[in-house]
Amino acid sequence: MNFIAKHLHLIKRSSVHIARVRSLLPSFHGLRASRLNGLGVHMTALARAPVMQPLPSRTALATGPRAVFVPTIADLCAIYQEDVNLVVLSRTLAPSVQSVVRELAAGPDFTATLRVYAPQPDLSSLPFADHERAAPLLADMTCWLQAFCELFDAEQVGLRICHSRSVMCPRFHIDRVPVRLVCAYSGPSMQWLAEPDVDRSRLGHRAGGLSDEESGLIRRSDAIQQIPPQAIALCRGDSWPGRAGRALVHRSPANLGDGSARMVMTLDML
């Protein structure tokens, strides 16, 4: 948290965005971007990240926090921009990872939570760690653990991976954390609302027991957006320093009704 606050303070004082922050904060955006790129090189056998374009200008600073789609792992540093509350790196899992994910999807539901020490990550207690073809999936998870820790200067991370045929978080909400990494290894990824499309006064109990679609929380019928499957999403929560009330509003997608499961990994700073 102190690390985030320090760099947000420097960014605010400089009145520049991420393109110029690299020159003002070489210890962060130079060293860490290069280290993240280094991790990205090792991950090329696991996934490929196509170039994506930023979201339309209706999510610009004048209307509130915005989302950014980035082309490389180093560009996840965009989460430090003052007007950004979602950064998405789209990718396609390698066939070896997809294969074990499909096998797990056919098995029973499970939820596992770990406290992981980044310099020496140990995922051996995960329910699928002994699967004979789990190595590529575990390697992918480990790379993102290390990238997350590098980005936020954290030594320990809370990892949660949930494989479920039920809807995990059916209502639109915000997270009470500084930032969270989310990746849907199988099934559709989370849904979210851009700032102009959400009435925050209708979140939670203030919806009066009505559904998201009935409460007035969603301002337009076509407003719901969705993270691409398998993508890496960095989502700001309500505990991000100085940005209370601007956390990403999101929810799990509805159950498809065909018995298929979602497997979702989240990472939180500890």
pLDDT by residue for the chain (270 residues), tens only, comes to: 455 555 444 444 333 333 433 333 334 444 455 556 655 554 544 454 433 333 333 334 445 799 999 999 989 999 999 999 999 999 999 999 999 999 999 899 999 999 999 888 999 999 999 999 999 999 999 999 999 999 999 999 999 999 998 888 889 999 999 999 999 999 999 999 999 999 999 998 888 888 998 898 999 989 999 999 999 999 999 999 988 899 999 998 887 667 788 999 999 998
- Residue ranges of the alpha helices (H) in the chain? 2-14, 18-24, 31-42, 95-105, 135-152, 212-215
Residue ranges covered by each domain of the chain: 2-269
- Paired sense of beta strands 84-89 and 66-70, if any: parallel
Q: What does the block give as tokens for 34?
A: 């290069």
Q: What does the block give as tokens for 67?
A: 């989302």
CB of 68 closer than 8 Å to CB of 196: no
**C-alpha distance from residue 68 to each of 184, 222, 258 (Å):** 18, 20, 32
Taking the C-alpha atoms of residue 205 and residue 227, their distance in angstroms, rounded to an integer, is 26
102 CB contacts (<8 Å, ≥6 apart)? 186
**C-alpha distance from residue 55 to each of 68, 86, 221, 227 (Å):** 6, 11, 19, 12
- Count how many residues are written for the chain: 270
Taking the C-alpha atoms of residue 64 and residue 195, their distance in angstroms, rounded to an integer, is 6
Taking the C-alpha atoms of residue 183 and residue 222, their distance in angstroms, rounded to an integer, is 24
